[in-house]
C-alpha cells in the first residue's frame, strides 16, 4: 500500500463527470443517495470541453461568417468581413466556461463531492484514485462507470503536430490553408464544414459509398451538394493508406475507387470514430464482462455482471451520443434507488449539425421494409414552408413514417433548417404512441418551421394542404 493511502466509504461512486456521469450523479442525489464523483479531467467531460459544445459554437461562428458574406440578395451589404480565429477561440472558451461552471454549481447544489484523479478498480466494490503522487481508496455500495471515449488513432496517422484529432482541430488559433479530413462521418463533416466556411481548402476521404453513412442517401445528398458549393473535395470509397510529412504540411496517400491518389495539405484531421475508455480501469481484472471492442456488457438498467456496478454512455453498446449517455445515467441512478426503470432506445434522435442539418429518430423506410411493416410515409418540402423561405433556407424536407393500418408514428427523417430542434416533436410522438392524426390535428403556430411536421403528417394521411401530391 502506498504511504498515506487510506480508505473512504461512499454510497454511490460515479466515475466520470461528462453528460452521462454528471446527470447520473445528480439524479442519484435527487433520489436521496450520497454521491461522490471521480473525474480525471475537467467537469463536463469531452462533450462540454472538447466535443459537442465547442464544436457547435464553432459551427455557429462559421455560419455567421458565411451569412455575413451572402446578404446582398436581402439588400444588406457588408464590407471587410474577416475571421479572427484567436477571437473565435476566446468566445468559444467563454461558452465552455459558463457551461462547465454550471455543472460545478449543480454538484454543489446537490451536495455531490467531486474527487480529481484517475480511478482503478481493485475489487468488486473498491477503487484506487490516483492524483499525482496521492493515492486513496474508495469503497462503494454502488458504482456507475461513465468514463466516456477518446478519438481512434490510426497506426498510419499517429496524432502529432500535423495530424489532429477533433480535440486539437477545435483548438486551432490560426486557420489552416488546407485540410484533409479522414472520415466522412458526423464529426468529420461538421468540422470540415466549419473550416470550409472559414476559407480552408478541405478534402474529405470517406471509405463508404457516401458521406454520413447510416443516413438515407436522399438526406446526405443535400449536405454533399452544399459541401461542394463550399469548395470541398469529397472522395468516397477512399481508403487512406499513409502519409509523409513535408516542410509545410503532409502528403496523404489514398486509394480512391481503386486508384492511387495523393492529397497535400497543411494538416490531417482524423475522424474515424471513438474508442471506449475502459482499458485502464482494471475492469477485466475484477471480473466485469467486456466485448472484444472493450465495451461493457450491461442489462436494460445499465447493470454489469457485478450487481452493484453499472456502466453508461460511450462505454456500452449503441451510438456514442451525449443525450443517450444522460438518459442511461438517469436509468442507472433510478435502478440503484430501487426503481423499475429500464432503457428503451426506440426514440433516440441522431443529429448531424451539418449544412443543412440532418436529424433522424425511430425507423427509416429501409428499416421498416426490413421489418416487414406495412407502412405509409409523408414528405413535406421546406421549399413550401413560409418560415423556411423567409430565413433563406428552403432546401430539405420533413418525412414521417407510420404504420399504415393504425397511423402509429414509427419514425421521421429531417434535412433542413433547425432539423435538430424539429426532431424533438417527432421523438415525443414515437415515445407517447401518437398517430399521424394526432400530429395533423395539433395546431402549429404560423409561420414556423415546425409546421412542416404537421404538413408531412397530412401528406401521409392523403390530405395535404400546401402541396399537390399526384
- Residue 366 CB burial class (10 angstroms; 0-12, 13-18, ≥19): exposed
124 marked among binding-site residues? no
Which residues, 6+ apart, have CB-to-CB distance to 376 below 8 Å?
401, 402, 403, 404, 436, 460
187 marked among binding-site residues? yes
185 marked among binding-site residues? yes
339 in active site = no
Q: Of 348, 339, 325, give the one whose Cα is nearest residue 14.
A: 325
328 marked among binding-site residues? no
186 marked among binding-site residues? yes
- The answer to whether the Cα torsion of 162, 168, 169, 173 is positive or negative is negative
Region class of 376: left (phi > 0), else alpha (psi between -120 and 50), else beta: beta
314 marked among binding-site residues? yes
56 marked among binding-site residues? yes
190 marked among binding-site residues? yes
206 marked among binding-site residues? yes
273 marked among binding-site residues? yes
Enumerate the β-bridge partners of residue 310.
144, 303
- Marked catalytic residue, from 70, 131, 339, 446: 446
Q: Which residues are annotated as a binding site?
A: 56, 183-190, 206, 273, 314
Q: Which residues are annotated as a binding site for NAD(+)?
A: 183-190, 206, 273
Active-site annotation, residues: 446
Q: Which residues are annotated as a binding site for FAD?
A: 56, 314
Amino acid at each position: 500500500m502506498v504511504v498515506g493511502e487510506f480508505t473512504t466509504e461512499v454510497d454511490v461512486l460515479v466515475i466520470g463527470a461528462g453528460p452521462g456521469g454528471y446527470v447520473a450523479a445528480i439524479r442519484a442525489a435527487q433520489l436521496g443517495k450520497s454521491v461522490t464523483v471521480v473525474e480525471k479531467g475537467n467537469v463536463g467531460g469531452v462533450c462540454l470541453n472538447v466535443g459537442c459544445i465547442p464544436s457547435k459554437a464553432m459551427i455557429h461562428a462559421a455560419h455567421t461568417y458565411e451569412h455575413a458574406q451572402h446578404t446582398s440578395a436581402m439588400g444588406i451589404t457588408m464590407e471587410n468581413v474577416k475571421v479572427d480565429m484567436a477571437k473565435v477561440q476566446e468566445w468559444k472558451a467563454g461558452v465552455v466556461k459558463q457551461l462547465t461552471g454550471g455543472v460545478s454549481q449543480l454538484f454543489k447544489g446537490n451536495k455531490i463531492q467531486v474527487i480529481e484523479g484517475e480511478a482503478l478498480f481493485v475489487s468488486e466494490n473498491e477503487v484506487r484514485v490516483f492524483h499525482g503522487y496521492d493515492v486513496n481508496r474508495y469503497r462503494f455500495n454502488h458504482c456507475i462507470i461513465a468514463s466516456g471515449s477518446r478519438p481512434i488513432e490510426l497506426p498510419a496517422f499517429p496524432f502529432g503536430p500535423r495530424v489532429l484529432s477533433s480535440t486539437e482541430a477545435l483548438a486551432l488559433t490560426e486557420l489552416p490553408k488546407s485540410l484533409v479530413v479522414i472520415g466522412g462521418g458526423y464529426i468529420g463533416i461538421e468540422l470540415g464544414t466549419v473550416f470550409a466556411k472559414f476559407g480552408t481548402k478541405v478534402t474529405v476521404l470517406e471509405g463508404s459509398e457516401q458521406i454520413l453513412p447510416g443516413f438515407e442517401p436522399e438526406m446526405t445528398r443535400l449536405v454533399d451538394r452544399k459541401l461542394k458549393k463550399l469548395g470541398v473535395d469529397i472522395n468516397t470509397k477512399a481508403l487512406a493508406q499513409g502519409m509523409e510529412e513535408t516542410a509545410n504540411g503532409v502528403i496523404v496517400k489514398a486509394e480512391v475507387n481503386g486508384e492511387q491518389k495523393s492529397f497535400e495539405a497543411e494538416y490531417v484531421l482524423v475522424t474515424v470514430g471513438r474508442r471506449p475508455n475502459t482499458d485502464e480501469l482494471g475492469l477485466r481484472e475484477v471480473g466485469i464482462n467486456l466485448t472484444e471492442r472493450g465495451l461493457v456488457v450491461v442489462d436494460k438498467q445499465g447493470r454489469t455482471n457485478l450487481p452493484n456496478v453499472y456502466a453508461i454512455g460511450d462505454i456500452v453498446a449503441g451510438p456514442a451520443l451525449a443525450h443517450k449517455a444522460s438518459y442511461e445515467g438517469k436509468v442507472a441512478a433510478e435502478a440503484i434507488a430501487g426503481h423499475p426503470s429500464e432503457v428503451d432506445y426506440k426514440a433516440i434522435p441522431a443529429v448531424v449539425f451539418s449544412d443543412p442539418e440532418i436529424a433522424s429518430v425511430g425507423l427509416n423506410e429501409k428499416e421498416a421494409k426490413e421489418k416487414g411493416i406495412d407502412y405509409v410515409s409523408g414528405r413535406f418540402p421546406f421549399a413550401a414552408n413560409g418560415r423556411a423561405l423567409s430565413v433563406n433556407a428552403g432546401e430539405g424536407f420533413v418525412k414521417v413514417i407510420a404504420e399504415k393500418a393504425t397511423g402509429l408514428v414509427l419514425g421521421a427523417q429531417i434535412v433542413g433548417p433547425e432539423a435538430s430542434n424539429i426532431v424533438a416533436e417527432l421523438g415525443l410522438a414515437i415515445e407517447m404512441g401518437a398517430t399521424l392524426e394526432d400530429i395533423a390535428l395539433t395546431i402549429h403556430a404560423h409561420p414556423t418551421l415546425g409546421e412542416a411536421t404537421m404538413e408531412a403528417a397530412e401528406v401521409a394521411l392523403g390530405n395535404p394542404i400546401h402541396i399537390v401530391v399526384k
